[in-house]
Amino acid sequence: MVSLGLTLVMLAFVVRLLQVQAVDADVYAAKAEKNRYSTHKLAAERGAITDRGGVELATSVDAYDITADPSLFTPKETKTGDAPEQAAALLAPIIDKDTDEVAEKLRTPKSRFTLLARRATPQVWKQIKDLRTALADKASTDPKAVNVLGGVFAVPTSKRVYPNAGLAAGILGWVNADGKGGGGIEQQLNKELAGKQGEVRYAQSGGRRVPTAGSTEKPAVPGSDVELTIDRDIQWAAQDAITEQVRKSHADRGYVLVQDTRTGEVLAMANAPGFDPNDLSQAQGTSLGNAAVQDAFEPGSTAKVMSMAAVLEENAATPGTRVTVPNRLHRGDRLFQDDIDHPTWYLTLNGVLAKSSNIGTILATGELGDTQEQVNKSLYSYLRKFGIGKETGLGFPGETSGILAPPDKWSTSQQFTIPFGQGVSINAMQAASVYSTIANGGVRIEPTLVRGTKGPDGRFTPAPAPKKTRVVSDRTARTVAGMLESVVDDEQGTGTKARIPGYRVAGKTGTANRVDPKTGRYHGYTSSFAGFAPADKPRVTVYCVIQNATKGSYFGGQICGPIYKKVMQFALKTLQVPPTGKAPARLPVTFSPGKPETPGRPADDR
C-alpha cells in the first residue's frame, strides 16, 4: 500500500516536472524573460543649429513631462477627501498652472495617467521631488499625515530651446510635439538633425540593472549640428530695424535680406512680424514661416536694374544715352505715367534709373529688339538668367518660385509693365540675388543658407559649393553699379536717404502696386529698397521690403531707405569693410536738349 502511494506521488512529481520542463517550457521561459529583461529606447540628442560663428541658435536640453496617476488621489487611497485639491495647491505654483485645472486633472475618474505639465525644466521636477520626499518623511513619522504627492511622476524627455527667442525664427522653424522639425531648417534638415534612436536591453531586478547578467546595447547616434551662414548680430540688426519700421508704418509685414556678394551666403534673413519658436501658442498663424522666401510679390522699380543690365549688355544704349521722357506714354492698351506728373524730362539712361522713370524704362527696353516680340524674348531670357521664376536654390520648405510667364503668354500690358517690375512676381531672396549678381561682376552665385554640418564625430562637412552662372559681362555689371550709385548719390535720385557718408553706396528704390492676397486685385503698395556697398568693391547686398504700409509714407526710398542704411552700416561694421576712398562715379542724370549728342553714343530719337 505504502509503496503504491509513494509511486503515485513520485509519478505526480514526474508528470509535473515533465510539464514544466518540457511541455510548457517555452511559456515559462517567455514569462521569465518578460519580467527579467527590460528594453529601453535611447533617445538620440538632436543636433544644434548655430550661426556662422558657432553661436547656438537652437539647441536641445533635458526636460521632464510631469505626469500623475489619478487613481492614487482617490479618497480610498489617500484617506482624505480633498487630496487632489491639496496636491494641486502644492503643484500649481511650481508648474505655473491654474490650481483648479490641476485639481480637475487629478480627479479624472478611472484613469491611471494624466499629463500635468509638458516639458518642464529639471529644476521644476527637482522641486516637486524634494517636496514629495519631505511629505513622505512626514507621513512615515506622523501616521495622520498623508503624502498627497505620492502619485506624481516624471517622464524624462528633451526640449528644443531657442536661446535668442524670436531671432531668425523664420529660418530656424520649430520642432513639433513628436520631436520632428515642423518648419524652416528644422524641417529641411530634420534627418541630419535628428540622429538615430538607440536601444538597450538588460536583465533587471526591482528596476535596477543586474550587473552580472548580460545586456545588449545599441547606442544612439546623436544628430549632426547644422551651421548656418547667418551672422547672429547682423540678423538681429536687420530684424530689429524691420520690426520697428513695420510697426511704425502699420504695415502687413516686412523682410530684410543681407547677402554676402562674393560667396552668395545669406548673412541675415529677417521677417516682421516674427514669432517665438519657444512658445508657438502665442504665435500668430500668419507670422509663422519665412515670408522672405515664401511670399511672392511684384517687385516694382527694383526690377528695373535687370532691364537696364539687359539694355547695356545688348549694347542697345549706354548710361549717357539720351531719353526724352514725356509725362504720359501710350503703349499697348494703356496710358503709362510716372509716379509724379512732370513736364517732359530730359534724362540720360542713368537718370532714368536714378529718377526711377517707368516711361523711360519702357522706352529704353524698347531698344532691345526691332519688334516687340524680340524685345519680350530678350528681356525674358535676361530675367530667367537673373533667377526670376526659378527656385532660389535654398531648398527651403514652402519656398515660392514666383511667377514669370513665358514671353508668348505676356499680355499686351504685361509687355510694358514687366520692364519696371509689375506683372511679374518674385520672392525677396530672388530680388536680393539679382543685386548680388550685379555686385559680383555679373556672375550669379546661388544663395546658400547652410554652411555645413558637424557630425557626432566632430567632423565638419561643408555644404556643396553653390552653382555659379554668368548673367552679364563684368563691364555691364560695373556700369550698372555706377548707375545705381546715382540713385543714392545724386540729388535728383530717389534713394538719398540711404547715403552712408564716406562710402560709395549703390541702391535702388521700389514702390510697387501690391496685389492684395485676399482679393487678388491691386491694393496698397510694396515698398522696397535694394542695393550693395561699397559700390566699387561690393561686399554686402541688403534688400528691404515693407508690404502695405498704411501710415506715413509708402515710398520705398522713404521707409526702406533708412532701414537699408541702418542694416548696411551695421553689416559693414560687423564685417569690418572700410570705405574704398575712391571718388564716386557721378554719371550725368539729365541733358540739355539744345546741346548736341556726345559723339560715339547712339542717339535716342524719342
Partner 1 sequence: MSKKPELRGRAARLARLLPAAPSQAARTPFVLLVVLLLGGGLITLLLLNSSLNEGSFQLTKLKKETQELTDEEQALQKDVDKYAAPDALQRRARELGMVPGGDPAFLGPDGKVRGVPGAAPGTAVRPSAARPPAALPPASPAPSPTGTPAPPSASASASARQPATPSPQAPATGSPSAAGDPSAPASASAGGAPRPPAIAERPAPTTPGR
Q: How many chain residues are in contact with partner 1, going by CB under 8 A? A: 114
Contact 230, 171 (CB under 8 A): yes
Largest CA distance in the chain: 146
Site string for partner 1, 36-65 (x = CB under 8 A): --------------------x----xx---
By CB under 8 A, name the one of 423, 441, 482, 538 that touches partner 1.
Answer: 423
Residues written for the chain: 606
Q: Does 246 bind partner 1 (CB under 8 A)?
A: yes
* Helix (H) / strand (E) containing 430: helix 428-439
CB of 411 to partner 1, least distance (A): 6
CA distances from 279 to 150, 258, 283, 289, 290 (A): 31, 27, 7, 14, 17
CB of 531 to partner 1, least distance (A): 14
CA distances from 309 to 263, 303, 315, 385 (A): 21, 10, 10, 11
Q: At what angle do helices 428-439 and 474-489 cross, to 10 degrees?
A: 110
- Type of residue found at 9: V
Which residue lies nearer to partner 1 by CB, 296 or 480? 296
Which residue lies nearer to partner 1 by CB, 93 or 502? 502
CB of 98 to partner 1, least distance (A): 23
Which residue lies nearer to partner 1 by CB, 466 or 584? 584
Q: Does 500 bind partner 1 (CB under 8 A)?
A: yes
Q: Which of 431, 483, 135 is nearest to 298 (CA)?
A: 431
Q: Which of residues 155-194 bind partner 1 (CB under 8 A)?
A: 161, 163-167
* Calpha distance 174→370 (Å, rounded): 53
Q: What angle do CA 517, 521, 523 make, to 5 degrees?
A: 85
Which residue lies nearer to partner 1 by CB, 99 or 574? 574
CB of 381 to partner 1, least distance (A): 19
By CB under 8 A, name the one of 51, 85, 227, 252 that touches partner 1.
Answer: 252
Q: Does 447 bind partner 1 (CB under 8 A)?
A: no
* Calpha distance 459→120 (Å, rounded): 33
CB of 25 to partner 1, least distance (A): 28
Q: Which of residues 208-237 bind partner 1 (CB under 8 A)?
A: 208-209, 211-212, 232-233, 236-237
Query: What is the Cα Rg of the chain in Å?
Result: 34
Q: Does 593 bind partner 1 (CB under 8 A)?
A: no
Q: Which of residues 534-553 bind partner 1 (CB under 8 A)?
A: 547
Q: Which of residues 69-128 bind partner 1 (CB under 8 A)?
A: 121-123, 126
Which residue lies nearer to partner 1 by CB, 473 or 513? 513
Q: Does 291 bind partner 1 (CB under 8 A)?
A: yes
* Calpha distance 322→427 (Å, rounded): 33
Contact 227, 54 (CB under 8 A): yes
Q: Does 424 bind partner 1 (CB under 8 A)?
A: yes
Set of cell numbers at residue 231: 551672422
Which residue lies nearer to partner 1 by CB, 83 or 449? 449
* Calpha distance 204→37 (Å, rounded): 6
Question: Cβ of 109: how many Cβ atoms within 10 Å?
Answer: 7
3-state class (DSSP) for residue 9: helix
Contact 111, 62 (CB under 8 A): no
As to burial, measured by CB atoms within 10 angstroms (0-12 exposed, 13-18 middle, 19+ buried), residue 582 is exposed
Range in contact with partner 1 (rule: CB under 8 A) among 40-48, 387-395, 438-446, 516-524? 516-524
Set of cell numbers at residue 441: 561682376
Q: Which of residues 365-404 bind partner 1 (CB under 8 A)?
A: 398-400, 402-403
* Calpha distance 395→392 (Å, rounded): 7
CB of 386 to partner 1, least distance (A): 18
Which residue lies nearer to partner 1 by CB, 41 or 209? 209
Extended strands (E) in 89-161: 114-120, 152-161
CB of 237 to partner 1, least distance (A): 5
Range in contact with partner 1 (rule: CB under 8 A) among 11-19, 105-113, 187-195, 240-248? 240-248
Q: Which of residues 312-331 bind partner 1 (CB under 8 A)?
A: none
Q: Does 531 bind partner 1 (CB under 8 A)?
A: no
Which residue lies nearer to partner 1 by CB, 84 or 419? 419
Range in contact with partner 1 (rule: CB under 8 A) among 27-35, 43-51, 214-222, 554-562? 554-562
First CA to last CA distance, the chain:
136
Q: Which of residues 255-284 bind partner 1 (CB under 8 A)?
A: 272-276, 282, 284
By CB under 8 A, name the one of 51, 192, 225, 240 that touches partner 1.
Answer: 240
Which residue lies nearer to partner 1 by CB, 70 or 299? 299
Which residue lies nearer to partner 1 by CB, 78 or 164? 164
By CB under 8 A, name the one of 73, 153, 255, 420 that touches partner 1.
Answer: 420
Q: Does 153 bind partner 1 (CB under 8 A)?
A: no
* Helix (H) / strand (E) containing 146: none
By CB under 8 A, name the one of 222, 557, 564, 604 that touches partner 1.
Answer: 557
* Calpha distance 86→74 (Å, rounded): 12
Which residue lies nearer to partner 1 by CB, 189 or 268? 268
Contact 353, 493 (CB under 8 A): no
Contact 85, 103 (CB under 8 A): yes
CB of 82 to partner 1, least distance (A): 33
